[in-house]
Amino acid sequence: MDVVASSSSPVAADAARETMLSIKDLRVWFELRRWGFGHAGSVRAVDGVSFDLGYGEAIAVVGESGCGKSTLMKSILGLHLPTEGQIVFEGTNVAELGSRQMQWYRSHVGYVQQDPFGALPPFMMVSRILEEPLVINGVRDKVERQERIVQALEEVKLTPVDDFLNKFPHMLSGGQQQRIVIARAMILQPRLIVADEPVSMLDASIRVEILKLMRALQEAHDLAVIYITHDLSTVRYFSERIFVMYAGQIVEKARVDDLLANPSHPYTLALLAATSDPDPENALTFKDVPPGEPPSLVHPPAGCRFHPRCSHAIAGLCDAEEPPEFEISPHHTAACWLFK
Amino acid sequence: MAQDSLLRLRDLKLYFRTTKGTVQAVDGVRFSLGHNEAVVVIGESGCGKSSLAKAVLRLLPRNVETYEGEVFLNGTDVMQLDEEAFRKQVRWVKMSLVPQAAMNALNPVLRVGDQVAEPMMVHYDVGKEEALAQAQRMFEHVGVPLDFMQRYAFELSGGMRQRVAIAMSLVTAPALIILDEPTSALDVLTQANIMNMLKRIKDEMETSFILITHDIATSSELADKVAVMYAGQIVEVSDAFQFFTEPLHPYSQKLMASVPRLRADVEPEFITGQPPSLLGLKPGCRFAPRCPMRHDRCDQDPPVYEVDGREVRCWLYEGAGTRVAAEEVARA
Amino acid sequence: MRSLWNNVRQIGRYPSAIVGLTIILLVVAFGIYTVVTLPYREAIQLWRGGEEIWGESPKMARPVWYNLFSRDKLPTTIVLNSREGEAVKSREPLGDEGDDITLVYTFDYAYDDFPQELTVFFEATYDEKSPYASLMWRTPDGREIRLGQVTLRPTETYRLALDDRLARRLRDVPPQIALFADPEIEEPTPVKGTYELEIRVTTFEPNVDVEAKWVAYGQVHGLAGTDHRRRDLMVALQWGTPIALAFGLLAALGTTVTTMLVAAVGVWFGGWVDGIIQRITEINMVLPLLPILIMVGTFYSRSIWTMLGAVIALSIFGGGIKTFRAIFIQVREAPYIEAARAYGASNGRIIVRYLIPRIIPVMIPSLVSGVPVYVFLEASLTLLGLGDPVLPTWGKVIEDARAQGALHNAQYYWVLQPAALLMLVGLSFAMVGFSLDRVFNPRLRGL
Q: Flag whether residue A286 sits within 8 Å of chain B, measured between CB atoms.
A: yes
Nearest to B55 by CA among B15, B87, B3, B105: B15
- B193/A279 touch (CB, cutoff 8 Å), yes or no: no
Residues of chain B contacting A204 with CB distance shorter than 8 Å:
44, 214-216, 255, 258-259
- Same-domain check for residues C151 and C270: no
**Cβ–Cβ < 8 Å for C210, C90:** no
- Same-domain check for residues C309 and C424: yes
- A280/B243 touch (CB, cutoff 8 Å), yes or no: yes
Q: Flag whether residue A141 sits within 8 Å of chain C, measured between CB atoms.
A: no
- If you average pLDDT over every residue of chain C, what do you get? 86
Distance from C-alpha of C119 to C-alpha of C407, rounded to nearest angstrom: 27
Binned average pLDDT, 10 residues per bin, chain B of 332 residues: 72 87 88 90 85 88 88 86 86 86 83 89 86 89 86 85 89 90 84 89 90 90 92 91 91 90 82 82 87 88 87 86 57 28
Q: Nearest-CA residue of chain C relative to A125?
A: C3
Min Cα distance A212 → chain B (Å) is: 9
| Segments making up each domain of chain A, as ranges | 19-279+288-307
Q: Which of C217, C246, C275 is the last residue of a domain?
A: C217
**3-state SS track over C39-81:** CHHHHHHHHHCCHHHHCCCCCCCECCCHHHHCCCCCCECEEEE
Specify the pTM.
0.78
- A111/C3 touch (CB, cutoff 8 Å), yes or no: no
Q: Which of A124-133, A248-257, B155-164 is the least confident region?
A: B155-164
pLDDT for the residue numbered A269? 92
Residues of chain B contacting A237 with CB distance shorter than 8 Å:
260, 267-268
pLDDT band at residue A228 under the 50/70/90 scheme: very high
Q: Flag whether residue A168 sits within 8 Å of chain C, measured between CB atoms.
A: yes
Q: Considering only the C-alpha atoms of chain A, give the largest distance between any 2 of them, rounded to a whole number of Å.
A: 67
**Cβ–Cβ < 8 Å for C228, C218:** no
CATH (domain of C388)? 1.10.3720.10
Q: Flag whether residue B101 sits within 8 Å of chain A, measured between CB atoms.
A: no
Nearest to A205 among B44, B195, B262 (CB): B44
**More confident position, C439 or A67:** A67
pLDDT for the residue numbered B160? 85
Q: Nearest-CA residue of chain B relative to A66?
A: B187
* Cβ within 8 Å of residue B282, ≥6 positions away: none
- C343/A120 touch (CB, cutoff 8 Å), yes or no: no
Min Cα distance C17 → chain A (Å) is: 25
pLDDT above 90 for A316 = no
Q: Which of A17-21, A150-154, C237-241, C437-441 is the least confident region?
A: C437-441
pLDDT band at residue A299 under the 50/70/90 scheme: confident
Residues of chain A contacting C3 with CB distance shorter than 8 Å:
123, 168
* Cβ within 8 Å of residue C269, ≥6 positions away: C347
C273, C343, C347, best to mutate vs chain A, most A CBs in 10 Å: C343
Q: Flag whether residue A135 sits within 8 Å of chain C, measured between CB atoms.
A: no
- Same-domain check for residues C261 and C345: yes
Is residue C91, in this structure, part of any structural domain at all?
Answer: yes
B40, β-bridge pairs: B211, B226
pLDDT above 80 for A135 = yes
Q: Which of C170, C190, C217 is the last residue of a domain?
A: C217
Residues of chain A contacting B255 with CB distance shorter than 8 Å:
204-205
Nearest to A280 among B45, B241, B259 (CB): B241
Give one DSSP letter per residue of C101-118, joined into a string. EEEEEEEEE--SS--SEE
Residues of chain B contacting A8 with CB distance shorter than 8 Å:
265, 267
- C342/A102 touch (CB, cutoff 8 Å), yes or no: no
CATH (domain of C155)? 2.60.120
Min Cα distance B185 → chain A (Å) is: 9
- Same-domain check for residues C213 and C255: no
pLDDT in tens, A22-77: 999 999 998 877 666 667 778 888 988 999 999 989 999 999 888 888 899 989 98
Domain count, chain C: 2
Min Cα distance A261 → chain B (Å) is: 10
Average pLDDT over residues A261-280: 89
pLDDT for the residue numbered A11? 41
CA-based Rg of chain C, rounded to a whole angstrom? 32
- From the options 1.10.10.10, 3.60.15.10, 3.40.50.300, 3.20.20.140, give the CATH code of A19-279+288-307: 3.40.50.300
- Same-domain check for residues C141 and C281: no
**Cβ–Cβ < 8 Å for A43, A298:** yes
Min Cα distance C360 → chain A (Å) is: 10
A75, A132, A186, A196, best to mutate vs chain C, most C CBs in 10 Å: A132
- A121/C342 touch (CB, cutoff 8 Å), yes or no: no
Nearest to A233 among B222, B240, B261 (CB): B261
Q: Flag whether residue A123 sits within 8 Å of chain B, measured between CB atoms.
A: no
Is residue C58, in this structure, part of any structural domain at all?
Answer: no
pLDDT for the residue numbered A172? 87
Average pLDDT over residues C315-321: 85
Average pLDDT over residues A169-192: 91
> For chain A, what's the residue count?
340
Distance from C-alpha of A229 to C-alpha of A200, rounded to nearest angstrom: 8
Q: Percent of chain C scored above 90 by pLDDT?
A: 14
Is residue C322, in this structure, part of any structural domain at all?
Answer: yes
Q: Is the peptide bond before C291 cis (omega within 30 degrees of 0)?
A: no
Nearest to C255 by CA among C371, C393, C102, C344: C371
**Cβ–Cβ < 8 Å for C421, C237:** yes
pLDDT for the residue numbered C2? 62
Q: Flag whether residue B243 sits within 8 Å of chain A, measured between CB atoms.
A: yes
pLDDT band at residue A80 under the 50/70/90 scheme: confident
Nearest to C3 among A114, A119, A168 (CB): A168
- A106/C344 touch (CB, cutoff 8 Å), yes or no: yes
Q: Which of C217, C240, C272 is the last residue of a domain?
A: C217
How many other CB atoms are there within 10 angstroms of residue C306's CB atom? 15
- Same-domain check for residues C208 and C68: yes
pLDDT in tens, C396-427: 999 999 888 888 888 888 999 999 999 999 99
| Helices assigned H by DSSP within C270-303 | 271-286, 289-299
Q: Flag whether residue A179 sits within 8 Å of chain B, measured between CB atoms.
A: no
Nearest to C304 by CA among C235, C390, C376: C390
- Same-domain check for residues C192 and C276: no
Residues of chain C contacting A136 with CB distance shorter than 8 Å:
343-346, 349
- Torsion, CA B122, CA B123, CA B125, CA B127, rounded to 10: -60
pLDDT for the residue numbered B325? 56
Query: Distances in Å between the alpha carbon of C171 and those of C149, C164, C165, C177, C248?
Result: 18, 10, 10, 12, 55
Nearest to B48 by CA among B232, B213, B235, B236: B232
Q: Flag whether residue A1 sits within 8 Å of chain B, measured between CB atoms.
A: yes
Q: Flag whether residue A148 sits within 8 Å of chain C, measured between CB atoms.
A: no
Q: Flag whether residue B332 sits within 8 Å of chain A, measured between CB atoms.
A: no
Is residue C226, in this structure, part of any structural domain at all?
Answer: no
pLDDT in tens, C90-111: 888 877 777 888 889 999 998 8
Give one DSSP letter per residue of B26-49, joined into a string. EEEEEEEEETT-EEEEE--TTSSH
Distance from C-alpha of C333 to C-alpha of C355, rounded to nearest angstrom: 11
Give the structural domain span for C89.
64-217
